């Protein structure tokens, strides 16, 4: 009887050790994020409202509005629609030199799934201090998806640009925080870091280069992505 009890104790101890090791390995695997590299590219255009709105809105109000459109490709997008070709349509209203509001709608055409849409309402704050341009953007984003999925997203972005004297490539760094407002309340789901610059070869043309790093949070197997971003924008007001 004593020998049987000792055998059961040894077996239980062995099973406990094995289960503990397997649990530790599973937790270690879950803690290791997936890593990927992606490419983003876009072509955009900016301009004023059609002139017929000047009499309707008044000259001062008319000058405060800007329209923009963008066509882009993303090999992946952790926080929205994955691999996609998208179009953005947006309108901006400038309150003063420090504050403006933007309304934006995106259509994302996905080869691996149905087209997705989202609508964003943004408030942008900006100011300058010495040779620094400081910016903050609040973005309320609604994704047109099923209940229980990530539909309502709050995005908070802080950016800093340094104006180098007599140099066209001013560096800019930013960090953006993503919060999902779901049925369980607010959940922090990711962070986006970026460093980049913008080059204006001539007044209406702008070329942007960025290195972006996305990190998912709040999931068992998060994905960390390094993203190479290239953009071109034509400003019709400067032609």
Q: Residue 57 — very low, low, confident or very high, per pLDDT cuts 50/70/90?
A: very high
Q: How far is CA 92 from the centre of its chain?
A: 19
pTM of the full structure: 0.82
User: If phi over 0 gives left and psi between -120 and 50 gives alpha, with beta otherwise, what is residue 151?
Assistant: alpha
pLDDT at position 81 = 57
Output DSSP code: residue 237.
G
pLDDT at position 78 = 56
Q: Residue 220 pLDDT more than 90?
A: no
pLDDT at position 146 = 83
Q: What is the pLDDT of residues 94-141, one digit of tens each?
A: 999 999 999 999 999 988 888 999 999 999 999 999 999 999 999 999
Length of the chain: 239
pLDDT at position 25 = 43
Place of tokens 């933007």: 102
Q: What is the pLDDT of residues 169-178, one digit of tens each?
A: 999 999 999 9
Q: Which long-range contacts (CB under 8 A, 24 or more apart) does 62-71 make?
A: 64/93, 64/94, 64/95, 65/91, 65/92, 65/93, 65/94, 66/91, 66/92, 66/94, 67/91, 67/92, 68/44, 68/92, 69/44, 69/45, 70/42, 70/43, 70/44, 70/45, 71/42, 71/43, 71/44
Work out the number of other CB atoms within 10 angstroms of the CB of residue 213.
14
Share of the chain above pLDDT 70, in %: 84
**CA 86/CA 75 separation, integer angstroms:** 11
Beta carbons of 139 and 120 less than 8 angstroms apart:
yes
């Amino acid at each position: 009887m004593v020998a049987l009890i000792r055998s059961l104790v040894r077996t239980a101890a062995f099973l406990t050790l094995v289960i503990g090791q397997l649990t530790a390995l599973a937790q270690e695997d879950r803690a290791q994020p997936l890593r990927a590299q992606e490419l983003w590219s876009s072509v955009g255009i900016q301009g004023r409202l059609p002139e017929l709105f000047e009499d309707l809105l008044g000259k001062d109000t008319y000058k405060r509005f800007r329209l923009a459109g963008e066509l882009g490709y993303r090999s992946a997008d952790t926080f929205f629609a994955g691999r996609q070709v998208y179009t953005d349509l947006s309108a901006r209203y400038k309150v003063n030199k420090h504050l403006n509001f933007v309304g934006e709608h995106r259509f994302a055409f996905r080869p691996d799934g149905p087209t997705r849409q989202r609508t964003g309402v943004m408030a942008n704050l900006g100011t300058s201090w010495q040779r620094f341009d400081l910016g903050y953007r609040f973005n309320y984003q609604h994704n047109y998806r099923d209940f229980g999925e990530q539909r309502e997203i709050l995005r908070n972005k802080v950016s800093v640009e340094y104006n180098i004297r007599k140099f066209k490539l001013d560096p800019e760094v930013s960090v953006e925080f993503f919060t999902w407002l779901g049925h369980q309340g607010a959940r922090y789901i990711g962070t986006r870091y970026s460093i980049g610059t913008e080059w204006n070869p001539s007044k209406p043309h702008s070329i942007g280069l960025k290195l972006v790093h996305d990190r998912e949070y709040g999931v068992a197997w998060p994905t960390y992505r390094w993203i190479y971003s290239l953009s071109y924008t034509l400003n019709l007001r400067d032609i």
